Structure 1
């Protein structure tokens, strides 16, 4: 006899259905999502095991991020349940949803718990082992870092939108001068949020404005005169706002500039915390041995993968990250125009793509591969090429972590050097 425990988890409730392999349900209940509720479920499992002596016990639930974390870890770490070799599985919600919809149109928490238990009873799921504490601790940092990066991106976009109100030709003039300065660089932010009006910037002598820009940029600009010229051309060619509207834009730009600086500082702080914590996981050295992969990217990859033995091979890792493509085949026709799947671990996908983008700048093999994929299509060249490069990197990451070895460039590349 086997036992399958289905848990429908919410912020306050644990709806539970204990189902045996003969589909009988000796226990169903709605319990609080706290220590008391989890202990009651444990008690029921142990009592039923005394009666039936189960050959297998599976506790399954949907991945509901924050809400499923505590119950999953409680059942996974409990010493009495460990003695019974209890398996704790966390499955993708969309898979269980499709399974339930095949049998039942109605939806409520009790029905959901029943079909979660029945889904695991059918044993069509892939094992999803919970990670060790060190990976989870690192994951809190690396995921928060990505959230800060996304917040910074949104803030920069809002800053650019409001810069357009104030000086609508600025981005065009910077591009015309072939400058690499971005609109959210600290120098541009300072110029657009200082006490100078556009008319005052327009009347600055060019050399004085170039000196002022170099001072703001702490001497980092190679051609401050070109940037000064682009800014003055933009200022003179842009529309002027009424004073009241100009004042409101200035307030917004000042607030957004402050938020950009604060977020950039927070990201630096969390990068330092990640670099310190990743050192408790020795395998990070396997990934940082790859040119272009620093501690932060290595930490983001390791935190999401956890124990590499969870995965059978590198295609499974790629699928978990969402770096795989839909198959479109019918009869003898196999479509070559396929889309990237829209599922997968977005955090792992982000760190793999960012790492690949860095590696291709440092490693000639990856650079060649990227360029080849870049020139294969006329549209979305960088996006396609970098995703394919990330997929290539997955194979390397899998091999290094699985074999616990450092990266060694192919012999032919070493000979080229």
Structure 2
């Protein structure tokens, strides 16, 4: 936990927009030192840093700087990164916090009848820091974690593009080969309908009748070539493929070419995204090797956690020393439940807080879902929570399993040890300075 003497701190609030940064700075006694607007570019940032440094030199009782700004898409990244690493401000130990806009919006409600302007917003953000609300936030972590975060988030974006493309092409797949998607696992000719062999069949055969009329030997040769001889029982695959073709609806000839063009385009998009993901994975591995790789190795030691989930969690968590307990880490990820009690009434249906880092919550959820398939303790915990309710069973059980998983992640990273299967005292009371 960072300890700061607030009586000797300058609190700088910045209202960020694409073109300008409106700045308000005050001390703990609410004395105003800066109330101005600066360009959201390098000259404007240099001017702001000079103003802050001049203010610190003019008032020697101030020795620390806390800068608070809302996380406004990408517009807040440059100014936050600049102020956190500015050599001119280094003697004053600047702490930079990118805040969730919901936090400052709720803080505004404590002021009755206040106008909303850029300068007032900057004052509110500065006052938010002055009253100590940034203690529950994580300071800016620097360029290395930012670089890793951009890579892992872009990888997630590409994965979502693949999912979206597959969802989009479902209707075209059904029109071209109606029976293929409806078959049970034992009756499917291909284990992966979006794989190379399935793609070749769906795009290179103009119609289903061509598959049915294709000589057995030619069809076997085609399947062997497209699968690179990876199909175990190619005769069975050919038989299942022809049966599925016979059972499917026939189309008018005018629809053959348009459907083939659409399907080929979708398959090309998927293959391109998959190639890009491989390149991103290489970049992630290179980025992590330039940082302290211990945390990455520790997270990968957990059964079910591969490099994708490990890198994603590490990029969003950053330095574990920023969190004083697993509760703080869980709150940062939004894995806490909001109470709804009043008088003698105690709510049993409390919704999970989703006001924090949605990316970290996603990575923790996916990682916990993978871990429960490999670690009996988590599988049993998930099953028990699943059976406790009749509504939202999977979502509730997975959220609670994710919360349990947070304690494991926190304990391993704090103790700097690999996973051994032993229970950890994750609720350490260590304060990090």
TM-score normalised by L of structure 2:
0.85
Q: Map Cα deviations across residues 211-230 of structure 1 (whole Å, 9 max, x no partner).
A: 64454333444455565455
The structure 1 residue matched to 2:96, chosen from 88, 102, 108, is 88
Q: Which residue of 1 aligns with 2:204?
A: 194
Determine the C-alpha separation between the residues in 1 that align with 2:398 and 2:230: 30
Instruction: Call closer, same or farther: CA 1:379–1:262 in 2, change over 3 Å.
Output: farther
Of 274-283 and 211-220, more deviation after overlay is shown by: 211-220
Q: Within the alignment, does 1:370 sit opposite 2:382 as a pair?
A: yes
Q: Which residue of 2 aligns with 1:57?
A: 65
Q: CA deviation at 1:207?
A: 7.8
Instruction: Call closer, same or farther: CA 1:88–1:237 in 2, change over 3 Å.
Output: same
Q: Map Cα deviations across residues 99-125 of structure 1 (whole Å, 9 max, x no partner).
A: 235535653323322222222223233
Secondary structure of the 1:66 match is coil
Of 50-59 and 177-186, more deviation after overlay is shown by: 177-186
Q: CA deviation at 1:179?
A: 7.6
Q: Which residue of 1 aligns with 2:130?
A: 121
CA contact (8 A) 2:335 2:403 kept: yes
Q: Which residue of 2 aligns with 1:107?
A: 116
Determine the C-alpha separation between the residues in 2 that align with 1:247 and 1:315: 57
Q: Map Cα deviations across residues 192-218 of structure 1 (whole Å, 9 max, x no partner).
A: 111331221233467865664454333
Structure 2 unpaired stretches of 5+: 1-6, 424-433
CA contact (8 A) 1:132 1:306 kept: no
Q: CA deviation at 1:40?
A: 1.7
Determine the C-alpha separation between the residues in 2 that align with 1:11 and 1:163: 43
Q: Map Cα deviations across residues 252-307 of structure 1 (whole Å, 9 max, x no partner).
A: 11111001111111112211222233233222222222222223322211111111
Instruction: Call closer, same or farther: CA 1:372–1:146 in 2, change over 3 Å.
Output: same
Of 153-162 and 344-353, more deviation after overlay is shown by: 344-353
Q: Which residue of 2 aligns with 1:151?
A: 161
Q: Within the alignment, does 1:28 sit opposite 2:40 as a pair?
A: no
Instruction: Call closer, same or farther: CA 1:197–1:174 in 2, change over 3 Å.
Output: farther
Whose helix proportion is higher, 1 or 2? 1
Secondary structure of the 1:80 match is coil
Q: CA deviation at 1:375?
A: 4.2
Q: Within the alignment, does 1:268 sit opposite 2:275 as a pair?
A: no
TM-score normalised by L of structure 1:
0.88
Q: Which residue of 1 aligns with 2:263?
A: 253
Q: CA deviation at 1:238?
A: 3.5
Secondary structure of the 1:334 match is coil
Instruction: Call closer, same or farther: CA 1:205–1:356 in 2, change over 3 Å.
Output: farther
CA RMSD of the aligned region, Å?
A: 2.7
Secondary structure of the 1:28 match is strand
Q: CA deviation at 1:175?
A: 4.9
CA contact (8 A) 1:326 1:338 kept: yes
Secondary structure of the 1:329 match is coil
Q: CA deviation at 1:181?
A: 2.2
